[in-house]
Chains A and B, each alone.
Chain A
Amino acid sequence: MEIRWGIFAIIIGASLVTFIPRVLPLMVLSRLQKPDLAMRWLSYIPVAVMAALLGNELLMTDGEITPLKDNIELFAALPTFLIAIFTRSLLGTILVGVVTVMILRFLF
């Protein structure tokens, strides 16, 4: 139960390079009046980043497209999407998603 120097250096370095991109735009951009075009561009970021994260998470494994027959997560995404659309409940969506994957992994 200790902290090694090498690991400590990694943690400090990694925390700095994580902290800066997190705070810099918020600190600087919230001070500025941004042009309309920039605001509209920013308004697409949430949808774009979540779709990109999901696409990467659901479709790719180690830089290659996950074969369809092995991709349990992609099949589980279908009921998860439906629950999200019809209930609009975040908690319900997550629970249905997790239980679906658990069942599918148990079966296949």
Chain B
Amino acid sequence: MQQENVQLRLGSSEDSFLQGIKDCVPTLLGYLSIGFAAGVVGHTSGLSVLEITLMSILIYAGSAQFIIAGMVANHGSIAAIVFTVFIVNLRHLLLSAALSPYFRHLTTLKTMMIGSLLTDETFGVSINKASNQSSLSEKWMNGLNVTAYPNWIFATMAGAFFGQWITNPEKFGLDFALSAMFIGLLVLQLLGRKKLARDLIVVISAVVIVVGISMVTSGSVAVIIATIGAATIGVLIEKWK
């Protein structure tokens, strides 16, 4: 019976490469606008188009790329920049751990390939897809990733190239695409999980903790502490009931 279900699922178009590409489409505006902005900021900090492109290919993380641009402009040391990027991207540990139950069927090499292209956006889309199934298809995940990744590279290149003419990309509200996407993904999660009361307490806890902690340390450290704290609160509430 279970075997049948698995075959049925793998055979359905819902898990195909093409569906992965389709499911990535809503995030593209976010990638394009944030990537464009990252390219513009990189250009303003004196990075060459080639350097910005290489950064997108090898690092592929918006927050890190903004921070590198900022610290390069302020002549930060190599060690300080690398360490800051490490802290900023440490939240990927949590995203990667949360996705791990859905890739039990893949080899270590394949989970490495999938993990290497993990972003906040692809995490949001894939965890949302995972909410009513026990595993995620590799093909679907590849479709999602090979759409998001080149888009990001293209967007930062375009930003780096056109950066000399554009001084204020914020005017068009495009920087809000990222927040709007998190709003959409959060709402989809909350409505899909059917644990609304508990989840809302987790959401409120996360917001309160992140605001409190980011007053005393950096926002990225606060995001990690708030995520760990709020998830723990969620489990504790579950235990009490």
Contacts and interface: CB of A to CB of B under 8 A. Distances in A.
A65 B214 CA distance: 9
6 contacts: A1-B48, A3-B48, A23-B116, A44-B235, A45-B98, A94-B184
B193 A47 contact: yes
Interface stretch (B2-10, B12-20, B85-93): B85-93
Interface of B: 25-27, 29-30, 33, 47-51, 54-55, 58-61, 64, 68, 72, 78, 81-83, 85-86, 89-101, 103-104, 106, 108, 111-112, 114-116, 118, 120, 123-125, 127-128, 170-191, 193, 199, 202-211, 214-215, 218-219, 222-223, 226-232, 234-235, 238
Contacts of A54: 179, 182-183, 186, 207
B235 A57 contact: no
Q: Which of B90, B177, B199, B206 has the most CB of A within 10 A?
A: B206
Given A52-B206, A52-B210, A25 B96 contact: yes
B108 A50 contact: no
Contact of B94 (A7, A18, A45, A56): A45
A90 B181 contact: yes
Given A45-B231, A60-B214, 9 more contacts: A15-B58, A24-B96, A40-B238, A42-B101, A45-B94, A45-B98, A48-B226, A76-B173, A98-B176
Nearest to A17: B86
A25 B227 contact: no
Say whether chain A's binding surface is mostly helix, strand, loop, or mixed.
Answer: helix
A52 B226 contact: yes
Contact of B171 (A30, A40, A89, A105): A105
A50 B177 CA distance: 14
A12 B82 CA distance: 9
Nearest to A54: B182
A87 to B, nearest CB: 9
A52 to B, nearest CB: 4
Given A9-B78, A13-B78, A14-B68, A65 B211 contact: yes
Contact of B189 (A3, A23, A47): A47
A57 B178 contact: yes
B72 A97 contact: no
